[in-house]
Amino acid sequence: MKQKTEPIRQELLRYLDAEHIHSDCSMKQYTTMRVGGPAALLLTPGSAAELFGALEVIEANGIPCVIMGNGSNLIFDDEGFDGVVVQIGRGLDHVRIEGNIVFVEAGALLTTVARAASESGLTGMEFACGIPGSVGGAVYMNGGAYGGEMSQIVHSVSSISRTGIMKDRPGSELGFSYRKSIFQENGETILGVKLLLAQGDPRMIQEKTRDYTQRRTTRQPLQFPSSGSFFRRPAGHFAGGLIEEAGLKGLSCGGARVSELHAGFIINTGEAKASDIVDLMRIIQETVLFRTGVLLEPEVRIVSKDGSSQHFDQKDGS
């Protein structure tokens, strides 16, 4: 694989420091589920200039590419990925607060931004205090919890198209719906986000944050690698409730298991493979569909060796 990627690597060195270009890099350490084979190339740009250069090379060469943040909603195939993964993280994670506006680069962790907002007496982002993703990933997925979601606080988003055109859109033009945004369709890379929060009572903000944190620590299997809630919430139901009612709590496939604490979580008990997780996902889907007529749709993106993602129709099976 090194011979195939070496010409691309040499081209990337025009724009990126060598330490930001990684060949045959295992994706286990870069995803919260801790599974997956090696990516042909992993790029970790440390600045906007490096990111722009990387995207230019990728587009010019027609290379399969996956853009990722903290890897909380990605699972790579056990055989790896024959393309380039671009991780937007350290170096592209600056946060600046002016009044009730928070300017955030896409690589900043949600937990970091939520804490900074809380310390500045700003309310509206408490729901994100324990979500393990990046801001860019959260906007991409319209992530949320406890009745809050990114669409409620996003003022505008800056992005770059595949052809290198910079765009800036207000939140009203981002096609937000449940776990959806326009970025899942247009192929653009999120660069920065402007959040509009409100001044609040610091004591109430801290109390709400403590409440959400306690709920997570007592009701979610945080001691195991996972992707958080694995399935989208089907209309009129909760995925975890349907899975539990189907008697699937504790069910295992290899090292993957349905959490006994929260049936909406698939966990890695230590030695899981990506194939174990996919097999378990299929069993859950088939069982719940047979029992209830509801097809559970994963929130997690499963990336195959050639870069294609598994897609699922959001519908019920009745």
Q: Map residue 162 onto helix, strand or coil.
A: coil
* SS percent in the chain: helix, strand, coil, step 5: 35, 30, 40
98 as an active site residue: the answer is no
215 as an active site residue: the answer is no
DSSP class of residue 180 equals: B
Residue of 50, 56, 105, 299 marked active site: 299
**In sequence order, what DSSP letters do the residues of 27-38 get, joined into one string?**
SGGGSTT----E
Amino acid at 46: G
Q: State both tokens at 254.
A: 């290899």
Residue of 72, 134, 159, 229 marked active site: 229
* Cα-based torsion angle of the residue sequence 179, 183, 185, 187 in order, rounded to the nearest 10 degrees: -140
CB distance 270 to 226 below 8 Å: no
**In sequence order, what DSSP letters do the residues of 40-98 get, joined into one string?**
EEEE--SSHHHHHHHHHHHHHHT--EEEESS-TTEEE-TT-EEEEEEE--TTS--EEEE
34 as an active site residue: the answer is no
Residue of 179, 232, 233, 301 marked active site: 179
Residues identified as active-site: 179, 229, 299
